[in-house]
């Protein structure tokens, strides 16, 4: 069966050729708008991971905007008008001291930038492509995960974890591209979240910088498109590009291990105390008896010193009673000169 990218690439090329046949004036940006707007996600919605971007389009990290629809694509191509000129805006994050910022083990760090459209020149109000350039060093590059959050709430995973990527060089001014926020208003606070899924707390690295590059237009792509009227919100509150301090959450795994060991030791001690208590209670409730040394399985008297104090007192009282009874019986036998009765604790004989 002919599947995968080997099949999808020529199929996509054939569908695009049909659109160009219907409208030869289409540019590469026009084609991206048309493909995106006519994509059909319905056959793929049973797969997990779907969400909505800031302008209400379904997006997926695995399937993009959905399946290409040749009929809908050609139909829209016939009436499509060339999109306005594309503009570029660049925002660079200035990392405060320490720079570069050290990284270790499993962590999560957030770095924010406030965007007002464009620092100079024509502003970008309607997004097309978003690019992030960043420099990160890490002992195992595959443990890193990068996620970009837009001002309108779209969450785009730029870099998922890759268990088989053992590269130790990291990324140097590496460009990551996303189209998941296509059509959104970029004004507001952007957040780059850097995470590590490393299981080894000794895995270390450093974060140096990141740059946000926005591509888009100042006007809607088509005159019939709705215009952005939202009021942008900023984390810094002043509506200017910010040199924001990162919100850092780093786990100290050495502390976690020590706390875990203390919990295990405490549970073991509690279990030992409970077991000793059960053994003590069982020993107290069991009848004390010893086997005769001559092996005749006859019970013989236990030494008083081997018994608890309460049982020693009971035993002594029993002996005094037996002695009194024996003395009384002997006196009676001497008086009557009759049958002598000898009383023994275990048996009676006449």
- Does the model's pTM come out above 0.75? no
Closest CA to 188 of 91, 53, 88: 91
- Number of C-alpha atoms within 13 angstroms, CB side, residue 251? 16
In 150-187, beta strands by DSSP E: 155-159, 171-178
Closest CA to 181 of 52, 321, 343, 276: 52
Q: How far apart are CA 149 and CA 192, in angstroms?
A: 6
Per-residue tokens: 280: 């003590």
Per-residue tokens: 224: 């019939």
Would you give the distance in Å from CA 304 to the centre of its chain? 65
First to last CA, the chain: 108
Closest CA to 170 of 197, 208, 200, 202: 208
Tracing tokens 């409208």 back to the chain, one arrives at 23
Q: What is the pLDDT of residue 232?
A: 83
Bond from prior residue into 100 cis (ω within 30 degrees of 0):
yes
Domain range 87-251, its CATH number among 3.40.50.720, 3.30.70.890, 3.30.565.10, 2.60.120.260 = 2.60.120.260
Q: What is the pLDDT of residue 273?
A: 62
Domain locations in the chain as residue ranges: 7-79, 87-251
Would you give the distance in Å from CA 183 to the centre of its chain? 31
Q: How far apart are CA 215 and CA 60, in angstroms?
A: 21
Q: What is the pLDDT of residue 247?
A: 35
Helix (H, G, I), strand (E, B) or coil at 44: helix
Q: How far apart are CA 77 and CA 27, in angstroms?
A: 11
CB 32 within 8 A of CB 86: no
Q: CA angle at residue 334 from 330 to 338, to 5 degrees?
A: 105
To the nearest 10 degrees (0 to 180), the angle between helices 70-79 and 5-22 is 30
Q: How far apart are CA 7 and CA 148, in angstroms?
A: 31
**For the chain, how are helix, strand and coil distributed in percent, rounded to 5?**
30, 25, 40
Tracing tokens 């059909």 back to the chain, one arrives at 40
Q: What is the pLDDT of residue 145?
A: 97
Tracing tokens 């053994």 back to the chain, one arrives at 279
CB 50 within 8 A of CB 59: yes
Q: What is the largest CA-CA distance in the chain?
A: 146
Q: What is the pLDDT of residue 136?
A: 96
Q: What is the pLDDT of residue 263?
A: 62
Each residue's pLDDT, cut to its tens digit, for the chain (350 residues) gives 677 888 889 999 999 999 999 999 999 999 999 999 999 999 999 999 999 999 999 999 999 999 999 999 999 999 999 999 999 999 999 888 888 999 999 999 999 999 987 877 889 999 999 999 999 999 999 999 999 999 999 999 999 999 999 999 899 999 999 999 999 999 999 999 999 999 899 999 999 999 999 999 999 999 999 999 888 878 754 333 333 333 333 334 344 444 455 565 666 655 666 666 666 666 665 544 444 445 444 444 444 444 455 555 665 666 665 555 555 444 444 444 443 333 333 444 43
Kindly tell me the burial class for residue 315, based on how many C-beta atoms sit within 10 Å of its own C-beta (0-12, 13-18, 19 or more).
Answer: middle
Q: How far apart are CA 10 and CA 16, in angstroms?
A: 10
Q: Where are the alpha helices (DSSP H) in the chain?
A: 5-22, 28-38, 70-79, 253-285, 309-336
Strands 101-104 and 204-217: antiparallel
């Amino acid at each position: 069966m002919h599947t995968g990218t080997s099949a999808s690439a020529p199929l996509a090329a054939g569908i695009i050729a049909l659109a160009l046949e219907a409208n030869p004036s289409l540019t590469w940006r026009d084609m991206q708008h048309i493909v995106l707007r006519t994509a059909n996600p319905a056959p793929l919605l049973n797969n997990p991971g779907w969400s909505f971007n800031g302008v209400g389009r379904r997006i997926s990290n695995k399937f993009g905007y959905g399946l290409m629809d040749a009929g809908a694509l050609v139909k829209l191509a016939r009436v499509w008008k060339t999109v306005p000129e594309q503009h570029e805006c660049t925002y660079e994050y200035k990392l405060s001291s320490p720079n570069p910022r050290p990284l270790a083990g499993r962590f999560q760090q957030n770095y924010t930038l406030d965007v007002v459209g464009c620092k100079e020149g024509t502003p970008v109000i309607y997004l097309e492509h978003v690019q992030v350039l960043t420099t990160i060093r890490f002992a195992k590059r595959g443990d890193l995960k990068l996620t970009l959050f837009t001002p309108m709430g779209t969450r785009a995973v730029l870099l998922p974890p890759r268990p088989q990527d053992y590269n130790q060089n990291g990324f140097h001014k590496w460009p990551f591209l996303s189209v998941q926020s296509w059509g959104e208003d970029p004004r507001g606070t952007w957040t780059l979240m850097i995470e590590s899924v490393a299981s080894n707390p000794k895995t270390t690295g450093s974060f140096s910088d990141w740059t946000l590059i926005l591509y888009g237009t100042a006007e809607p792509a088509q005159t019939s498109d709705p215009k952005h009227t939202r009021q942008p919100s900023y984390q810094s509150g002043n509506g200017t590009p910010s040199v924001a301090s990162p919100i850092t959450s780093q786990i100290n795994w050495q502390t976690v291990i020590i706390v875990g060991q203390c919990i295990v030791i405490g549970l073991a001690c509690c279990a030992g105390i409970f077991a000793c208590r059960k053994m003590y209670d069982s020993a107290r409730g069991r009848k004390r008896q010893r086997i005769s040394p001559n092996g005749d399985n006859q019970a013989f008297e236990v030494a008083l010193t081997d018994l608890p104090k309460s049982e020693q007192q009971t035993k002594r009282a029993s002996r005094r009673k037996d002695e009194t009874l024996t003395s009384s019986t002997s006196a009676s036998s001497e008086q009557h000169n009759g049958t002598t009765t000898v009383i023994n604790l275990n048996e009676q004989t006449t």
